A and B are shown apart, each in its own frame.
Chain A
């Protein structure tokens, strides 16, 4: 296997571009989004306007106290205006939240779908380079934080910005002198946020690293729990874990301390501001300076509270927003990955073949297939019957540039032939089959399928013409029936039963709780490895392809059962080109050609008898197996 590398967690590299990209997923919601913004503005404005109206109201009361005459209608008028504005505010806040939810959930769904769609189209090479956990966290952690951001932070940011600007304007209108104080305060607030924010940011990065180390250790140890038990290694791993845990605790405490004290600091800076404003405003009112009234001071004091609130909120969310953006960047990085290149134009079609051997294309399933080969030069289309001729011509290949796994492999497989690859682990057996179905690509012309350069064949059609049973069997959530039908989605129940019987899987399936309708969960955890392989064989059988690749397909099936399914396997292989990889030489003995591989080279080839007669490596392997000493 090619080596994997894990990328460390990082801060967003280009926040602006990422935000723009997230917004691009809101297509179709432009009008709604405008409504959201308007709603946010109205709701924020309602809060400010309410406070703004406090001044005339208080002044109205103060005046009545001074003059002894109360302008009641004015009082009611102001109050009614306030009620109206507030009602509007609450209503629009309800509206925009509802709309934003619709936008954010759909946006998130689109991003998820895009990510998954892209993931399905990526080459195998990509999955070699990334661990499952790493990719999985894109769907869990990263989308979760993004959801948080879309759900809360977007509206909050707009609202905060509106409130800050609005309140500041209102303050400026009421008293420019007191607003100087606000500016000074703002400066202090920004410095404090900057100071604490950068420390807590660094703290969180350190925490994330420590968390990664601790969680990685947990994963590894729990995965190997049974080995730990067998070796009585419990105390040693506990001690090692406790050290990592302590480290994590310290980093987390440090990061969270900074995050936690930000709120009280901001809160009390605001009180400080409040007190200073009260003193200065009080003095100004008493001195009659700048037309200051009691109403102005009271309104202004409310403003100082509503001014610092949004700043605190924004600063509190800044960290989660940055985390979300970093996550979004990781998601987009995958979406931007180069998909599996496929410039193939030769396609697989159902074919009708008359007595003279003329091939014509047809819609219906005829059981015969042809390659449809359009020629760009003269615009003609030729058809070649799909037979399963496979030819490798001096193929060199490496998963990494400087490490070749295959060194000049040449072979020719005719329809109906069974070609076996034998050799030790790492000799390159699986690699050859990986090239035949184009999990990995080789230069043009090196591999030909029915005489066609496989790079010209559309990948999906190429793979549809081959069935593969892998060493590690993967099943999907669904019934046994669904899993077998995976090989041919429109197969009838009868076809499924037939395939299961062929693979000798029927006998154990009928003993399952619900027979063919038994649900398989978590990759078929309720089945044994051998039973899973039988299902995989049935799955390959139902696909009915001209080419069959069996990569250690029966390694977990005991030889007795293997003997039982041999007949089924033989009829499955009949008329097809079959590539077999097996450790067990008894499995490959009846192959037309056996290739013995070593270090990516074919060192011996021939049928069983020829190879035995050669007294070479195959002979050694074979007789080594039956050494009776």
Chain B
């Protein structure tokens, strides 16, 4: 996992490596400075050698300037490396998600993907910067300070040899115990956020049922759980600082006790003693830093895992090698097709579908909720792969086509459709980036969108806002149809795309389709019989199977389901 993710450091590898290297420079100076200090005190001040004091003092100034240089350099390099890494990671994720098939997206859900690309990447970015700044700094500091202390007075260093393992052991204990508690806290935290989200989305329902108090009670219960979990986890972590202080203070007392006696006995200089105390701070601090790094790691591990899952996700629909790029015509054949969203033959959404549709035909599809109308048409532009059987477009298996070529020829207007922020014109150009104004207007006229667009003060340059919030549901659907028409496809699929459009407009859209798109194979999924009854053939779906196929009149005679649907809409029409 780490190897995969850290490979995205990419072109910033140089900075990522140089950053710790220059930290070594900084740390070396930081460790040497107390040693120089000891020399100044012992050889200079105590012996009254002003020249020595000044000389070594200036030497120390020089050292701190060198240290500053390395420190600043490391700061810059680590920023470049960490932000660059985050950029690469974000970009890799975004590109990956763009490659995702519908099945891949379904698996993760859009909300979860968004979190992975935003919050998780930010977490990793911060952890990574922290990592390259301290991963080397702390151990190097620890080792350098230990060496310096040993060289200065090996006997006194025994204090460190006692203190360091005790602190390390303690830290390890805390961290292992804290980890599951943090996980538990995060779980409570997630469920609290989920409940907020739910209330934001369903605020009208909450208010309509006067359930504010009920929701409040649930939420208060939630926050209390979060608080308890938080206390439970943090009470361990906050023990580290006092404990570290205790060890540090004990070490200082021990050093002063033993060191003091050595100094009195003439085995040690007082300056050295003072430097030794500096080393206590440095050594124990670096241990602390290591343990905090571990906390960061624990926190970011969940994010790493979530990002990793996206990166290694196998994209299940890709263009074959030496793919066909020409779609001959708009004929569609389903040959013994079965399909399951879970690739499970026991849980089929479609079973045993056999169909032959000639180029230019208009096909209506009718069926109850959950009868797999959408599942059926999604196989045509290969948004999903069949679990069994074949789908042929223009006489060839859809798996043989280059995906872009296939989808450029099979336009689909989705049931749950979206427009993007930008102007109407920009959105329409998704269908054809090179569309001329005439083409755009023609498409909009066919989709009965031209009139209302012209009604906006800024016409085709009206800004839609994020998610197309500035147009009504019916207008949005018509824009989506126009956008699909601009592709000039050989096959167009309307998946319940006029449900929010009033019946009169719906009828004129169909009329326009008949007149302008006679050669285009058209699939219309609808709830309203009126939307499909003039189709060349109507497919009646029931529970993942084709129940009947025929014209309106034929089906009225032969299909019980069709008649029931018709009757339910027809009743009273003749009164």
Contact = CB atoms under 8 A, between A and B. Distances in A.
B253 interface: yes
A268 B110 contact: no
A294 B46 contact: yes
Contacts of B367: 558
Interface string B31-61: 0010001001100111011100110111011
Given A275-B60, A557-B369, A256 B129 contact: yes
A263 B61 contact: no
A214 B94 CA distance: 11
B407 interface: yes
B277 A302 contact: yes
Interface in B62-87: 63-65, 67-68, 70-72, 74-76, 78-80, 82-84, 86-87
Contacts of A543: 209
Contacts of B223: 109, 112-113, 116
Contacts of B37: 274, 278, 301
Given A223-B467, A268-B67, A626-B573, A231 B407 contact: yes
A463 B369 contact: no
B154 interface: no
Given A127-B200, A583-B499, A477 B504 contact: no
A229 B86 contact: no
A183 interface: no
Interface string A463-481: 1101110100011110000
Interface stretch (B144-152, B210-218, B516-524): B210-218
A227 B40 contact: no
Interface string A256-289: 1101111111011001101110110111011000
A466 B208 CA distance: 8
Given A229-B383, A294-B41, A57 B235 contact: no
A54 interface: yes
B326 interface: no
A226 B568 contact: no
A253 interface: yes
Interface string A388-424: 0000000000000000000000000000000000001
B507 A65 contact: no
Given A253-B79, A425-B475, A224 B57 contact: no
A58 B575 CA distance: 111
Contact of B84 (A106, A234, A249, A530): A249
B565 A97 contact: no
A62 B208 CA distance: 83
Contact of B205 (A151, A474, A529, A585): A474
A609 interface: yes
A237 interface: yes
Contacts of A263: 71, 75
Question: Looking at chain B, what size class is its interface with the partner chain?
Answer: 35 or more
A206 interface: no
A579 interface: no
A477 B195 contact: yes
Contacts of B466: 216, 220
A23 interface: no
A235 B215 CA distance: 44
Contacts of A58: 270, 273-274
Contact of B431 (A57, A124, A231, A238): A231
Contacts of A492: none
Interface stretch (A11-19, A327-335, A559-567): A559-567
B324 interface: no
B207 interface: yes
B260 interface: yes
Interface in A183-240: 211, 214-216, 218-238
Contact of B110 (A94, A223, A297, A559): A223
A230 B414 contact: yes
Contacts of B270: 58, 61-62, 294-295, 298
A4 interface: yes
B208 A279 contact: no
Interface in B242-264: 242-243, 245-246, 249-250, 252-253, 256-257, 260, 263-264
Contact of B565 (A112, A234, A560): A560
Contacts of B370: 528, 530-531
A196 B530 CA distance: 70
Interface stretch (A131-139, A445-453, A568-576): A131-139
A380 interface: no
Most chain B Cβ neighbours within 10 Å, of A222, A470, A531 = A222
A621 interface: yes
Contacts of B68: 264-265, 267-268
B417 interface: yes
A252 B86 contact: yes
A50 B281 CA distance: 13
Contacts of A276: 57, 61
B227 interface: yes
Interface in A15-46: 43
Interface in A140-195: 140, 151
B412 interface: yes
B165 interface: no
Interface string B190-228: 011111111111111111111110111001100110110
Interface string A78-98: 010011001101110110011
Interface string B87-117: 1001100110111111001000111011001
A474 B202 contact: yes
A302 B278 CA distance: 8
Contact of A279 (B53, B111, B210, B234): B53
A235 B60 CA distance: 56
Given A61-B260, A109-B226, A586-B571, A261 B193 contact: no
Given A214-B90, A227-B418, A252-B86, 14 more contacts: A43-B245, A50-B249, A83-B253, A140-B193, A227-B417, A230-B411, A232-B403, A245-B90, A286-B45, A294-B270, A425-B500, A437-B208, A486-B209, A626-B570
23 contacts: A58-B273, A90-B243, A94-B239, A112-B223, A113-B220, A215-B118, A218-B94, A222-B110, A224-B418, A228-B98, A231-B483, A238-B94, A252-B125, A274-B37, A279-B57, A279-B58, A282-B53, A297-B45, A425-B474, A463-B209, A476-B198, A584-B528, A608-B572
The 4 A-B residue pairs with the shortest CB-CB distance, nearest first, are: A264-B71, A260-B75, A474-B202, A530-B369
